[in-house]
Amino acid sequence: MPPPLLRLSDISKSFGGVEALKPFSLELEAGTVLGLVGENGAGKSTLIKLLSGLHRPDGGQIALAGRPCSFGSPKEALDAGIATIQQELEYASHLTVAENLLLGETWPRTFFGGVNWRSLYAEAEQRLRDFGIELPVRSLMSRLTAAEKQEVAIAGALARRARLLILDEPTASLSEPEVARLLTHLKRLRDQGVTLIYVSHRLDEIFEITDRIAVLRDGELVATHETKQVSAGQIVHDMVGRPLEQVYPRTRSGQTGEVLLQLDGLTRAGMFEDVSLSVRAGEIVGLAGLVGAGRSELARAVYGLYATDRGTVRICGRQWPLSGPDRALRRGLVYIPEERKRQGLVLDHSLGSSLSIGLRDSLSRLGVIRPRREQVKVQEMISRYDIRATGPEQLIGTLSGGNQQKALLARWLERDPQVIILDEPTRGVDVGAKAEIHAVIDRLAAAGKAVLFISSDLPEVLGMSDRVLVMNRGTIETELRGERMTEHNVMLAASGLDIE
């Protein structure tokens, strides 16, 4: 019996003391499709990076067709026959399809030493035809649709004799018919003997195409199942089952007041569709869903950063025409963005000026910031939100992630807004800061504010919220309250499956 195409024995990887992958073993037979599932941060991307040569494992061994191998670079992995189609495709958008397909290879030459374009295009066309698609090879890569770009990438990988093809969230930016087309292609490849690892959040696709499913959770391989013998419920259970229960603060009474934020049929084509929701005073409403479900886009649109196509928003009962963040702030709505370094802070500005920028209107008179008042206010904010820094002069970029996040919260919450939209407020912060941020959010609701809480951390969003809305592909799939607020149900709804 021939050795399995891929054998991982006890491979592990940690980053700076954090175990991204705990030692595990896995085998993959040639010509089969393995589905790889897990929540955000479960270790899927780390595993892909090990296989594609971006990282080296700390321990254990990767064997390809029985031969142990070690990849120092993506090129070495590719040469060994492992090709990875990343979620964010990399290509030269200003070159033609043909040039992209043959990038890095020796191009056919003419007698005079120039490029023999005719045979280059012919070769490219041949490669696409081998894969079973027809595309204009002379057109620029940037003109193709997302699906076509992906097909070019796959065709390119196959032309380099890839034996193992890894697809990382290949359908994240595809429409339904494009997904169906991709799956058809992949099934044909499998029948031709190519081995596939298919990574996706979307369980329906996983069930359609895979032979086996491996579930990762918190860096551990918790289970592998034969696809035919397992239910979606079991997979979701494996993905979320968590031994540790965390305690979430709840000082708020649970009594809710009038509706402070109301969305009716809000739509922006391609981002979110017909979203209606309301948040009352004193209430924390969780917004759960997979990455790319349209939660952040929705939040930013409500904040006035994007125009919308249809629908209305009311803040504190008044119609809100979405006319820009400066107006939103004056109306009493704040949005605390998910990427604090890119969307929130100027890293080489001081903590003090990073805090006071949020209060620039109330701190100034005749357009002049009053220095004494600013100083007092900044000190107040630093102690109230327990921001640990050497002083207001310290550069914000030199603070820890948790303290940066607390500073960002302080900047906006000090305005005393009525409606607060938090987008992944605890991403990348340590456990201590996380608990402090949870306490701050709870106090907001206790003080009668309306909080819309976006988080991909399931226990957190369930533990913090009074009720949870689950988004999937731009629409609100369902609302969960009380008993039904379980990780299981959230994952089912987020993957577009029916709740049991």
Partner 1 sequence: MRFISQIASNQRVNRLLLVLAVELFLFAPVCGVQFSSFGAFQSSFASLISDLLAQAAPMIVLSVGMTLVLMTGGIDLSIGAMVALIAAVMARIDVDYALWSTAVPIGLLCGLALGFFNGTLIARLDVPPIIATLGTLFLFRGFCEILLEGQEYGQFLDVPSYRWFGTPSGGLLLVGVILGLGGLWFSFSRVRRELLMLGGNRVAARYAGIPVFRRIVQVYTLMGGLAFVAAVCLTARNGSVSASSFSGMELQVIVAVVLGGTRVEGGNGSLVGSAIGVLMIAVLAEGLRGASMFHSDLLPFKIQYLEYVLMGGLLIWGVWMNRQVGGQDASH
Q: Looking at beta carbons only, is 139 or 362 nearer to partner 1?
A: 362
Q: Looking at beta carbons only, is 69 or 357 nearer to partner 1?
A: 357
Cα-flanking dihedrals φ and ψ of residue 141, to 5°? -55, -40
Rounded-to-integer distance, Cα 221 and Cα 38, Å = 9
Q: At its nearest, how many Å lie between partner 1 and the CB of residue 303?
A: 8
Rounded-to-integer distance, Cα 152 and Cα 101, Å = 7
Q: Looking at beta carbons only, is 118 or 370 nearer to partner 1?
A: 370
Rounded-to-integer distance, Cα 333 and Cα 401, Å = 24
Q: What is the DSSP string of 436-476?
A: HHHHHHHHHHHTT-EEEEE-S-HHHHHHH-SEEEEEETTEE
Rounded-to-integer distance, Cα 458 and Cα 39, Å = 9
Sign (positive or negative) of CA dihedral 428, 470, 305, 374: negative
Q: At its nearest, how many Å lie between partner 1 and the CB of residue 357?
A: 6
Q: Looking at beta carbons only, is 197 or 315 nearer to partner 1?
A: 315
Any idea what DSSP says for residue 229? G
Q: Looking at beta carbons only, is 394 or 478 nearer to partner 1?
A: 394
Q: Looking at beta carbons only, is 18 or 368 nearer to partner 1?
A: 368
Q: At its nearest, how many Å lie between partner 1 and the CB of residue 299?
A: 11
Q: At its nearest, how many Å lie between partner 1 and the CB of residue 391?
A: 11
Nearest to 460 by CA among 242, 200, 223, 257: 242
Q: At its nearest, how many Å lie between partner 1 and the CB of residue 88?
A: 19
Rounded-to-integer distance, Cα 299 and Cα 238, Å = 31
Burial 142-181 (b: 16+ CB within 10 A, else e): eebeebbbbbbbbbbbbbeebbbbbbbbbbebbeeebbee
Q: Looking at beta carbons only, is 123 or 338 nearer to partner 1?
A: 338
Q: At its nearest, how many Å lie between partner 1 and the CB of residue 345?
A: 6
Catalog residues that contact partner 1 under the rule CB under 8 A: 303, 305, 324-326, 328-329, 335, 337, 342-350, 353, 356-358, 360-361, 363-364, 367-369, 371, 393, 395
Q: Could you give the count of Cα atoms lying within 13 Å of 155 in the half-sphere of its Cβ?
A: 27
Sign (positive or negative) of CA dihedral 77, 78, 79, 80: positive
Q: Terminal CA-to-CA distance of the chain, rounded, Å? A: 42
Q: At its nearest, how many Å lie between partner 1 and the CB of residue 179?
A: 31
Cβ burial of 317 (10 Å; 0-12, 13-18, 19+) is exposed
Q: At its nearest, how many Å lie between partner 1 and the CB of residue 330?
A: 8
Note the maximum CA span of the chain: 84
**498 residue type, one letter:** D
Task: Kindly list the distances between the CA atom of residue 444 and the CA atoms of 282, 359, 416, in Å, as whole numbers in the listed order.
Answer: 8, 18, 9
Q: At its nearest, how many Å lie between partner 1 and the CB of residue 298?
A: 15
DSSP three-state, residue 191: helix
Rounded-to-integer distance, Cα 465 and Cα 461, Å = 6
Q: Looking at beta carbons only, is 329 or 490 nearer to partner 1?
A: 329
Q: Looking at beta carbons only, is 299 or 468 nearer to partner 1?
A: 299
Q: At its nearest, how many Å lie between partner 1 and the CB of residue 428?
A: 17
Q: Looking at beta carbons only, is 286 or 352 nearer to partner 1?
A: 352
Task: Kindly list the distances between the CA atom of residue 212 and the CA atoms of 7, 290, 318, 374, in Å, as whole numbers in the listed order.
Answer: 15, 22, 53, 60
Q: At its nearest, how many Å lie between partner 1 and the CB of residue 108?
A: 38
Contact 135, 144 (CB under 8 A): yes
Q: What contacts 484, CB < 8 A, 6 or more positions away? A: 499
Q: At its nearest, how many Å lie between partner 1 and the CB of residue 290?
A: 23
Q: At its nearest, how many Å lie between partner 1 and the CB of residue 418?
A: 16
Q: Looking at beta carbons only, is 196 or 351 nearer to partner 1?
A: 351
Q: Looking at beta carbons only, is 341 or 473 nearer to partner 1?
A: 341
**454 residue type, one letter:** I
Q: Looking at beta carbons only, is 62 or 345 nearer to partner 1?
A: 345
**57 residue type, one letter:** P
